[in-house]
């Protein structure tokens, strides 16, 4: 019985051990009206300080090289209108990439395209004091801000979280079975 306890304890400890995510970099890039904004962090939300940022076009040609600041942020003017790949390299295998779309500068998504809602211009622009072009500029700024906020608020579901949750459930069932066996023995 003691052997079973030792094996179960060791199994539980190994199941709870977190995987080595040391080489993972999270990168986010957004084109805000021709100015590309990137934010790079390690796992645990630590910023990539002094990381090398390389920008490639669709052909793989290096267009520019910059460096992240102390907050993991790097901004630069969009070098060309096509699809761009932004790569962040913090050395020793810490590397990740982000693709920017050619059309509107947003992120290329693996999700299917969703029809965007049609926003009409106000019927009386003189009342608000904004012209239709001002409304379009405001819409672009709001879209960029919402995309940035959604990215920052997005929590990733990691394999570690899934395995931990399953282990918790198995543990509860084991505890219930142990309690039932104790009642039946008494």
Mapped to the 3 state alphabet, what secondary structure does 20-84 carry?
Answer: CCCCCEEEEEEEECCEEEEEEEECCCCECCCCEEEEEECCCCEEEEEECCCCCEEEEECCCCCCE
pLDDT mean over 48-63:
91
Res 157: pLDDT = 58
Overall average pLDDT of the 102-112 stretch: 46
Banded model confidence at residue 186, pLDDT cuts 50, 70, 90: confident
Integer Cα distance of 69 and 50 in angstroms: 6
* pLDDT tens, position by position, 144-185: 777 776 666 555 556 777 888 889 899 999 988 888 888 888
Angle at 90 between CA 80 and CA 155, to 5 degrees: 85
pLDDT 10s digits, 58-83: 899 999 999 999 999 999 998 888 88
- pTM, whole model, 2 decimals? 0.47
pLDDT given for residue 101 in this prediction: 82
> How much is the average pLDDT of 86-102?
85
Whole-number Cα distances in Å, 71 to 42, 142, 164: 11, 23, 31
* pLDDT at position 142: 80
Does 125 score more than 60 pLDDT? no
What is the Cα 110 distance to its own chain's centre? 13
What letter would DSSP give residue 107?
B
The pLDDT assigned to 140 comes to 77
User: Domains in the chain and their CATH numbers?
Assistant: 25-110 (2.60.40.1120)
pLDDT of residue 103: 52
Phi, psi of 48 (to 5 degrees): -85, 105
Share of the chain above pLDDT 70, in %: 70
Q: Which residue has the higher pLDDT, 128 or 124?
A: 128
Residue bearing the bigger pLDDT, 108 or 42? 42
Tally Cβ neighbours within 10 Å of residue 51. Answer: 25
Tokens 């490639």 found at: 56
- Token pair for residue 88? 């962040």
Nearest CA among 22, 152, 37 for reference residue 90: 22
Instruction: Write down the mean pLDDT value for the chain.
Output: 75
Distance CA 103, CA 113 (A): 14
Distance from C-alpha of 18 to C-alpha of 3, rounded to nearest angstrom:
25
């Amino acid at each position: 019985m003691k052997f079973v306890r030792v094996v179960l304890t060791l199994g539980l400890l190994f199941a709870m051990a977190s995987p080595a995510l040391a080489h993972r970099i999270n990168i986010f890039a957004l084109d805000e009206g021709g100015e590309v904004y990137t934010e790079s962090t390690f796992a645990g939300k630590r910023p990539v300080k002094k990381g090398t940022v390389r920008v490639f076009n669709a052909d793989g040609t290096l267009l520019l090289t910059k460096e992240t600041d102390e907050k993991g942020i790097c901004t630069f003017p969009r070098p060309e209108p096509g699809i761009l790949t932004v790569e962040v390299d913090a050395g020793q295998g810490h590397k990740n990439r982000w693709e920017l779309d050619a059309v509107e500068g947003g992120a290329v998504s693996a999700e299917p395209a969703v029809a965007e809602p049609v926003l009409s211009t106000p019927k009386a622009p003189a009342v608000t004091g904004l012209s239709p072009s001002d409304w379009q500029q405001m819409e672009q700024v709001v879209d960029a801000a919402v995309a940035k906020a959604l990215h920052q608020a997005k929590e990733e579901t990691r394999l570690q979280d899934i395995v931990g949750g399953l282990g918790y459930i198995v543990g509860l069932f084991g505890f219930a079975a142990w309690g039932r066996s104790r009642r039946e023995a008494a």
